[in-house]
Structure 1
Amino acid sequence: MSDVGFFARRYGPPPREGRPAMMLVHGLGLSGRYFVPLARRLASDGVTVVVPDLPGNARSRAAARRAPDVAQLADALARLHRRLPLGPVPVVANSVGCQVVAALAARHPRLVSHLVLVGPALEPRTSGLRQFGRLVADAPKEPFRLLFLAAFDYLVTGPLRCAASFRHSLRDAAESFEVNLSQVRAPTLVVRGTGDTIASGTWTRRVAELVADGRAEDIPGAAHAAHYSAPDTLAALIGKFTAGELG
């Protein structure tokens, strides 16, 4: 990976030690733009929200000469965190971003106070072809504007970079994802839209069981990107979870 810094958005007040903060982490080939509705909702409560484009993706494409693997992305997030005046923070991720933050919490546990995994993917022991088919099946269930954002981000990141990232993610799902989850000690909320075709209900419950302190919640009517289609519902869940109000 290059030493060039990577791009991150900020919502809410400037980061400061002792001030509530969160980090939101996108999925494969995308940017943080599809987290904007949730970020704005969280920031309206006075939370500092940091939303990076992971190295090699979208506006951070030049921050890596090749597509980084999952562990490299986790270490890059750790470096970003340490450059900011933050203590341990809740980290929210979607899709393949959940693999990245599981690695972050396993490799750098002191940086993460809580994990929120929205539609965790990729599912171990599922072929790449089947995973791709699930993605295609999910697309008609998502808002049109999200599909437009995703298509633009995939073009900016580039098809070859997306394909390389997909291979890295499949390897991580087969070899490391469940191991990393078993090492997570931060309280973890696993969220699934009931219409999600990518992260199955069986798998999301398995994720909640693998971590030391996990619970699973569904968002009715949402698909894979529940944070985009139901930001208010998810923000309320996150607020209750981080306040210790979920059973």
Structure 2
Amino acid sequence: MTDAGFFVRSYGPLPREDRPAVLLVHGLGLSGRYFTPLAHRLAASGATVVVPDLPGNVRSRTAARRAPDVGQLADALAGLQRGLFSGPSLVVANSVGCQVAAALAARHPHLVSRLVLIGPALEPRVPAWRQFARLVADAPHEPLGLLFLAAFDYLVTGPLRCAASFRHSLRDAAESFEVNLSQVRAPTLVVRGAGDTIASGTWTRRVAGLVADGHAKDVAGAAHAAHYSAPDTMAALIGKFTVGETG
């Protein structure tokens, strides 16, 4: 379905006022398709799950003439949420999507009840070439199906838009990411796949420490996209976190 220029995937029952919906936010150049395994599991537990393609990406590519920056993506997500839900959402993000989620929680705090950041990237003060090298190093640790999916999505989004989005994200990492994290008041769970070469353990613990109420958790047997390679574990973690358990 489409909504306010977004292509949106929906899973589970219709939203209810007594239960926050779950919003899944993908990484740079991708679509929301790689959240499908996790979305199905969350929906099976009774959650309303919404997975948009962010403006400028894959099936929402024509929603933006140019690659939006991180703040513009956060504001666009806020508009989408207001149109779909009556209350705040549990926001789950991966990779550079964590920068968008942090900006959303900082700029529109009333729209975020809880925040789950999976493999937050990009890490401030790390040169662009090293960030790219970390991405390349992560590939052998991910399932083959994810690599094919990601390659297709990057081609549809287009190399020029991916490059522009990367530049926007690097600027946000250098100037705004940590500031936004320090303004997040929603309880936050920071998850890192134990084999993640992109988001270091030191950095993910720092992310958890920057937010007002942050908790860090490692997932064994997973890399950067823990929600794809370990969806059952991630669904269980999110379910516990939703009711206030962080262990």
TM-score of the alignment, normalized to the shorter chain, above 0.5: yes
Partners in 2 of 1:20 and 1:94 — Cα distance?
Answer: 19
Deviations 1:11-69 (CA, angstroms, capped at 9, x unpaired): 00123433441000000000000000000000001100000000000000000000000
Report deviation, 1:165. 0.0
Q: CA RMSD in A?
A: 1.1
Report deviation, 1:88. 1.0
Further displaced range: 82-91 or 103-112: 82-91
**2:98 equivalent in structure 1:** 98
Q: Which amino acid aligns with 1:63?
A: A
Q: Which amino acid aligns with 1:47?
A: A
How many residue pairs get aligned? The number is 245
Deviations 1:56-96 (CA, angstroms, capped at 9, x unpaired): 00000000000000000000000000001331111000000
TM-score, normalised via structure 1 length: 0.97
Q: Secondary structure at the match of 1:17?
A: coil
Contact 1:18 1:87 in 2 (8 A): no
Does 1:87 pair with 2:87? yes
Report deviation, 1:4. 5.7
* Correspondence list, 1:149-228, <5 A: 149-228=149-228
* Correspondence list, 1:1-247, <5 A: 5-247=5-247
Q: Percent same amino acid at aligned positions?
A: 82
TM-score, normalised via structure 2 length: 0.97
Q: Which amino acid aligns with 2:13?
A: P
Contact 2:189 2:246 in 1 (8 A): no
Partners in 1 of 2:222 and 2:141 — Cα distance?
Answer: 8
Partners in 2 of 1:144 and 1:203 — Cα distance?
Answer: 27
Partners in 2 of 1:5 and 1:17 — Cα distance?
Answer: 25
Contact 2:20 2:90 in 1 (8 A): no
Q: Secondary structure at the match of 2:6?
A: coil
Partners in 1 of 2:29 and 2:86 — Cα distance?
Answer: 27
Contact 1:92 1:115 in 2 (8 A): yes
Q: Which amino acid aligns with 2:95?
A: S
Partners in 1 of 2:4 and 2:80 — Cα distance?
Answer: 12
Partners in 2 of 1:231 and 1:192 — Cα distance?
Answer: 13
Partners in 1 of 2:128 and 2:85 — Cα distance?
Answer: 39
Q: Which amino acid aligns with 1:59?
A: R
Partners in 1 of 2:156 and 2:97 — Cα distance?
Answer: 18
Partners in 2 of 1:119 and 1:160 — Cα distance?
Answer: 24
Contact 2:21 2:85 in 1 (8 A): no
Q: Which runs of 5+ in 2 are unaligned?
A: none
